[in-house]
Structure 1
């Protein structure tokens, strides 16, 4: 499972951090930390453990802008 975030949609509300803190975090500027890991319009995580699926699905559901997708 991978997490795909459309950075053109993401507005750093941080709701995903509350749902899946092992996947999402905020940096010191209040921006999602993965923004520093990509130079494009999309962030794609590495392979995530299946045990995180429920939290990641909740993060995608609570994203106000629906910027998070899950890829199997």
Structure 2
């Protein structure tokens, strides 16, 4: 079962501690997946081809041989 975490605060409060703790607890794979989803959304909103972004190609090049 997936846990849902919520944080209520004023928008003017500049306390990002909740966000930092949340993303650090998720792990690298989840953070990368979220970043890839945001890039896909960006490309779709801009009307660009979202099949394979430059970000995916660049990261793939860093894999070990």
TM-score per shorter chain, which class? under 0.3
Q: Which has the larger radius of gyration?
A: 2
Larger proportion of helix: 2
Q: TM-score, normalised by structure 1?
A: 0.26
Larger relative contact order, structure 1 or 2 (CA cutoff 8 Å, min sep 6):
1
